[in-house]
Chain A
Amino acid sequence: MSVTPDEALSVSPADAHEISAEAAKLSRRHFVGKVWQVIFASSTLVGIVALTTLLLNIVNSAFGYVAVENTVQPEHLAINGVPIERMPKEDLVAVLESHVSAGLMRRFENEIPWEERTREDVYNLVLERVVDPKPVAQWSLYESLFTVDAIRQEMVERYPEADLIFKSWVTPSFITSPQSSNAFNAGVRTAILGSLWTISIAIIFSFPIGVGAAIYLQEYAKDNLINRIITLNINNLAGVPSIIYGILGLALFVRLLGQVTSGAIFGYTDPMTANGRTILSAGLTLGLLILPLIIINAQEAIKAVPNSLRQASYGIGATRWQTIWHHVLPSALPGILTGTILAISRAIGETAPLVVVGASTFITFDPDGPFSKFTTLPVQIYQWTARPQDVFRNLAAGGIIVLLLMLLSMNAIAVLLRNRYSRRI
């Protein structure tokens, strides 16, 4: 029924006033609502912007122009007009001999005798030790893309001797080279191997124990005081700052069990590692750190297995362990594995506890076992970041890209595993 103007007018003035006031109030309420909706929505944008900025910032440092100055210009090394690129091996050895100390020459000889070295090898030694290119200035990717003229200008004014090259700090040789004090030759090989070693030890230690504890708490434990304390305790351990685990690792594995973690009681007597600051200590510390996470995730996975499955197994006279091993665990496995990989991703990125446990600041050799000194990728990134020279920031950015790629592939593996196992049934 439509309202005629007359009927509308018949509303008393007081009522009309009230109605219009209410309408005004309603539109104001809607307006406030809209404003807040925009605020809520833009807050979520903060997350996206933060992630994007984080990644762009890293990419910005990982690529860009570098001004390189050679300690000795290669032209100056030419013998009888033959440049080093085309020199035979013997001449290269001679060049090397005339530019480095006799002691260093002897060391090279001791490592691999000159007769057995290839020409390629000697040539690289000449480049590394004699030509010795060093970065004197570097620019971010943004600057390299948009202010090329200014860079060239600066090159002419400040670094007339230097060459300008566009460098990617993440290269295959970055991944395969060991640590070095020269930013140009430094790589993350030692750190990646260290990360893989420590993580493997952490998994070997905490996966069986973590899953075992989860099985006990879900399938065996009665609801009594002790088991309630254990559960509460695990939840609290998951919230302890990681650096506390580092301190525990330092006191327990490095100091108290130093004889074991340095390998001394197994007759392993490398004086370099006898202080217990080894891969084993680091791995066990990470193991303690991820144990509560593995337990909690595995508990959730086991809890999700339907009870009817257990009843079916008990109903035909299976024992508790037969039921768990043949029915509960296979069903819970995808969940357990996913949770474990999440815990491992956490461990891969951990830095603070490993610094406390005693990661080495500078090692150039590959770790050769659990009693070796160690560094890991995030520790390496930290040490590069903490150095005052800007060029190491670029290396750190390169290291971060490698680390993020490692994490990404871990998570991809987790997804694949989950899909594969859930399809199998």
Chain B
Amino acid sequence: MNLKKRRRVGESIIHGFLILSSVISIFITVGIIFELGTESMLFFTRKQWERTNKEVVQNVELASTSFFVSESGATLRAGDLIRLRDEEMRVVEIQGGLLVVERGAEGTEPIFHSEGTAIEKATQVTLLEFFGKTEWNPQIGRFGIWALVNSTLMTSLIALVVALPIGLCVAIFLSEYASQRFRSILKPILEVLAGVPTVVYGYFALTFMTPLLQAILGKNVVGIYNTASAGIVIGILIIPLVSSMSEDALSAVPNALREAAYGLGATKFETALQVVVPAAFSGIAAAFIVATSRAIGETMIVAIAAGAGPNFTFNPFEAAETMTGHIVRISGGDLSYNSLDYNSIFAIGLLLFFMTLILNIISQKIVKKFREVYQ
């Protein structure tokens, strides 16, 4: 008899594969953050050339490092990067109309420029502009994220107004009132509702919900594309999510609590609303947060029904493109990798990623706490 350890090569190989499999999930996360991060960096560092409406008012020789420019147009500052045709220059000093420059900046070749050559100025998207402005128009170099974030928040808010009360009521009904038989019918229906692809919901929003809103409020009030109809349909989409998570929380409340309330002479409704729901509060809160995250990340419904074109508006019946909708529209065309548009979807994506990630982490923390209390 030999009790010595045997080398089991097959088992070691399998063990290695299994470890690798589970580590891949880390790679995916790192990949997401790395890709979104580096491309977003490019978004914030990529030069764009903006016309200054200034021109040189003399010939600029190959060797000369100072020349006069027209007074009109945008102001230049020392340190600015400017471009005359293919040559880039760094502004060293400005004395009235005289520009002192460093020639051939950024590795470009100094060349001769004749009088009247237009001057372009390099600009970058700054974080201040990105988070501070409300206009998003890549054609003219406007990158204020609030135009997109605002409509994302609007559709999400409308969705939550629809889904939270209804979802919670469904959960209360299923957990406190419904018979076993009714539950066994209703739960599959909700599951089917949750399993319908979102593109189908998008179709539903455009061909049913929008005409419905138009019929109720008038065609001159409600546009063909609008955030209200997209939001309402997202709400319908996340009702099953809210109700199933909330119902789990309500069912986890021990029966002893209900019996205690009944023992004091409370009615069924009072027990449900004043004892069971507060006891399950954190579980329900987690459901609401996950639903919020889901609504923010929802794409196809808004891509189809909310409109194509950033629009900073608080009117839910106007078209306004959301963050997700914008990503889909921009990347759906023939996108050049070497463009600010391409970089911009990563910056939007990164913001979206962190918004949903933070919400998901919070909800997981809450659920964990909740479990510790009752299990």
Contacts and interface: CB of A to CB of B under 8 A. Distances in A.
B17 A240 contact: no
Given A43-B173, A243-B327, A393-B207, A230 B356 contact: no
Contact of B170 (A44, A213, A241, A407): A44
A346 B273 CA distance: 35
Nearest to A381: B199
A57 B204 contact: yes
Interface stretch (A31-39, A67-75, A130-138): A31-39
Contact of B353 (A217, A244, A250, A356): A244
Contacts of A212: 17-18, 20-22
Contacts of B57: none
B357 A216 contact: no
Contact of B299 (A44, A47, A241): A241
Contact of A240 (B328, B356, B364): B356
Determine chain B's interface SS by DSSP, over half rule: helix
Contacts of B95: none
Nearest to B35: A251
B193 interface: yes
B207 A237 contact: no
B25 A292 contact: yes
B100 to A, nearest CB: 41
A236 B361 contact: yes
Contacts of A36: 269, 273
Interface stretch (B81-89, B108-116, B117-125, B289-297): B289-297
Query: Which of A37, A241, A356, A407 gathers most chain B CB within 10 Å?
Result: A241
Interface residues of B, number: 84
Nearest to B193: A51
B245 to A, nearest CB: 12
B199 to A, nearest CB: 4
A233 B23 CA distance: 10
Contacts of B18: 212-213, 215-216, 220
A32 B356 CA distance: 38
B216 interface: no
Interface string A383-425: 0011000000100110010011001000100000000000000
Contacts of A321: 8, 10-11, 14-15
Nearest to A29: B267
Interface string A222-234: 0000010110111
Nearest to A241: B297
Nearest to B361: A236
Contacts of B280: none
Interface string A313-330: 000000111000000000
Interface string B49-86: 00000000000000000000000000000000000000
B260 interface: no
Given A43-B170, A51-B193, A407-B197, A351 B300 contact: yes
A233 B11 CA distance: 27
Contacts of A404: 196, 200
B236 A243 contact: no
Contacts of B352: 241, 243-244
A41 interface: yes
Interface residues on A, range: 35 or more
Nearest to B39: A251
Contacts of B270: 29, 33
Interface in A174-219: 208-213, 215-217
Contact of B25 (A295, A320, A361): A295
A247 interface: yes
A290 to B, nearest CB: 12
Interface in B352-373: 352-353, 356-357, 360-361, 364
A5 interface: no
A132 to B, nearest CB: 27
B22 to A, nearest CB: 4
Nearest to B329: A355
A49 to B, nearest CB: 10
A312 interface: no
A144 interface: no
B290 A239 contact: yes
Interface in B277-304: 290, 293-294, 296-300, 303-304
Interface of A: 29-30, 32-33, 36-37, 39-41, 43-44, 46-48, 50-51, 53-54, 57-58, 61, 208-213, 215-217, 220-221, 227, 229-230, 232-237, 239-244, 246-248, 250-252, 255, 288, 291-292, 295, 319-321, 345-346, 348-352, 355-356, 358, 361, 378, 381-382, 385-386, 393, 396-397, 400, 403-404, 407, 411
8 contacts: A39-B169, A43-B166, A43-B173, A230-B26, A239-B356, A246-B327, A252-B35, A352-B299
Interface of B: 8, 10-11, 14-15, 17-26, 28-29, 31-32, 35-36, 39, 165-166, 169-170, 172-174, 177-178, 186, 189-190, 192-193, 195-204, 206-208, 236, 239-240, 243, 267-270, 273, 290, 293-294, 296-300, 303-304, 324, 327-328, 331-332, 337, 345-346, 349, 352-353, 356-357, 360-361, 364
Q: A-B pairs with the 10 shortest C-beta distances?
A: A241-B297, A349-B197, A212-B21, A33-B269, A43-B169, A352-B299, A216-B18, A213-B22, A40-B173, A239-B360
